[in-house]
Amino acid sequence: MHTAERLQKIPPYLFMTLRNKINAARAAGVDVISLAIGDPVDPSPDPVVEALCAAAKDPANHRYPTDEEWGMLAFREAVARWYARRYHVELDPKKHIVALIGSKEGCHHFAMGVINPGDLVLVTDPGYPGYKPSIWFAGATPHPVPMKAEHHYLPRLSDIPTHIARKATAFFLNYPNNPTGAVAPREFLAELVEFARSFDIAICYDNPYSEIVFGVERLSFLNTPGAADVGVELNSLSKPYNMTGWRIGMACGNPDIVKAIATSKANTDSGVFNAIQYAGIAALDHCDAFIASMLDIYRTRRAKLMDTLRVLGWDYEPPPGTFYLWAPVPKGYTSASFCDYMFDQCAVVIAPGAAYGEHGEGYVRFSLTIEQVRLDEALERMRQRIPCFSF
Ligand SMILES: Cc1ncc(COP(=O)(O)O)c(C=O)c1O
């Protein structure tokens, strides 16, 4: 059977490849510990599970979701309360918010709703691997914008050639950043809004880690004056509330882009199960303390992993966002060969930086979303089985 040519551009999904490798090793009896994927093993908050159970028992919720393409108004109102409380951002639930099946879905509908075939679309490099396929599906071409350690992993907007900026119609960014953990300060966001305004570029600010920062200000793109004139912020309940499997998030900001996303969704899916939206309301309204407790857990895990890396020769300060640690590879390794080395020596899986783009080469990403005992075991293996490195 023939399949669409557009699929040929899409490389194998990194985590599928890793999952296959892990499954094969486990089948062969190896006790593999994966620090590769950012998928919290800790449970979702109790009030969320309880709200789902109660809502699932109500037959009214067994029908197509209410306000299908936009999400239940009650959910959008909860999103508006959350943004007002957590970020001091005022949103009109009827104009500025659409519910999503996670922010990954939002990236795709942003592409479908905003990008035209033949467009040039800016993406950071390294960057979340989900952006490029959505851009290709829209018939457009991604243009990588480098993020370098010496610039705190922020793209230098002034380095983007003017003819590229003029041609670009959209820009995908994400801070707190996967994979580097970098955060974007207010000054950068103001510069980004100005850049977008000058070149008429629509911003897709993908912010599912907005809550996961250590010792720095929690920020929404929409905190920036003028942000809602030039773009939307995608956010998600996946990471702050350990709800990756529930598939719920939101796009907020520019009303034209929000409407475009809703139109694309209305012609693709039929919205998020009402019971999950009720569970989402419980998370947004009642689980601030839960986020704080998860941050404490990640803080401890970060400190433990950094202790081990320092014992093994790493000497660097990791950026302050997300539940990932982005680390340079020792001298003599590429990102892929160092991942293989870790796998062979310790049966520990980590993600190769090159999978996030050309500028990810030379780095690996550790995820802290695993049980504490398994992380401790991984760190013990590293201390026992690998030498002190030079860089
Ligand atoms: C930058 C980024 N965007 C989007 C997603 C997908 O999040 P969601 O579960 O909300 O679809 C992820 C997940 O790892 C991510 O890292």
Same domain (yes/no): 170, 277 = yes
Ligand 1 centroid to Cα of residue 103, in Å, is 6
Q: Are strands 120-125 and 141-146 parallel, antiparallel or unpaired?
A: parallel
Ligand 1 centroid to Cα of residue 178, in Å, is 9
Same domain (yes/no): 203, 296 = no
Whichever domain contains 366, its CATH number is 3.90.1150.10
Of the candidates 256, 286, 316, which is a domain's last residue? 286
Same domain (yes/no): 54, 123 = yes
Q: Which residues contact 247 (CB under 8 A, 6 or more apart)?
A: 101, 102, 105, 272, 276
- Are the C-beta atoms of 222 and 250 separated by less than 8 Å? no
Query: Distance between CA 144 and CA 220 in Å, rounded?
Result: 23
Q: What is residue 20's predicted lDDT score, i.e. its pLDDT? A: 87
- Tell whether ligand 1 has an atom less than 6 A from the beta carbon of residue 106: no
Ligand 1 centroid to Cα of residue 105, in Å, is 9
Q: Which helix (H) or strand (E) holds 9?
A: none
- The whole-model pTM stands at 0.96
Same domain (yes/no): 24, 56 = no
Q: What is residue 69's predicted lDDT score, i.e. its pLDDT? A: 80
Q: 304 in a domain, yes or no? A: yes
Same domain (yes/no): 158, 115 = yes
Q: 118 in a domain, yes or no? A: yes
Of the candidates 237, 261, 286, which is a domain's last residue? 286
Which among 300, 262, 344 has a CA at the least distance from the CA of 70? 262
Determine what percent of the chain falls in helix, strand and coil, rounding each to the nearest 5.
45, 15, 40
Local mean pLDDT, 10-residue blocks, the chain (391 residues):
90 79 92 94 97 98 90 98 98 98 98 98 97 96 97 97 98 98 98 98 98 97 98 98 98 98 95 97 98 98 97 94 98 95 96 95 98 97 94 90
Same domain (yes/no): 162, 310 = no
Coil, strand or helix at 160 = coil
- The residues that bridge with 137 in the sheet, in sequence order, are none
Same domain (yes/no): 34, 52 = no
- What are the backbone dihedrals phi and psi of residue 156, each rounded to the nearest 5 degrees, phi first? -90, 100
Of the candidates 230, 259, 286, which is a domain's last residue? 286
Same domain (yes/no): 25, 153 = no
Q: 390 in a domain, yes or no? A: no
Q: 391 in a domain, yes or no? A: no
Q: What is residue 21's predicted lDDT score, i.e. its pLDDT? A: 86
- Tell whether ligand 1 has an atom less than 6 A from the beta carbon of residue 369: no
Query: Distance between CA 184 and CA 8 in Å, rounded?
Result: 34
Same domain (yes/no): 168, 61 = yes
Same domain (yes/no): 162, 77 = yes
Q: 188 in a domain, yes or no? A: yes
Same domain (yes/no): 189, 258 = yes
Which among 237, 245, 268, 242 has a CA at the least distance from the CA of 111? 268
Which among 148, 136, 212, 198 has a CA at the least distance from the CA of 172? 136
Other beta carbons less than 10 A from residue 387's beta carbon: 9
Atom of ligand 1 nearest to the CA of 206: 3
- Tell whether ligand 1 has an atom less than 6 A from the beta carbon of residue 367: no
Range of the domain at 257: 46-286
Same domain (yes/no): 23, 158 = no
Whichever domain contains 160, its CATH number is 3.40.640.10
- Tell whether ligand 1 has an atom less than 6 A from the beta carbon of residue 254: no
Q: Which residues contact 75 (CB under 8 A, 6 or more apart)?
A: 99, 272, 277, 278, 280, 281
Mutational pocket test of ligand 1: of 178, 210, 212, 247, the residue with most ligand atoms within 8 Å of the beta carbon: 178
Q: What is residue 15's predicted lDDT score, i.e. its pLDDT? A: 76
**In the chain, how many domains are there?**
2
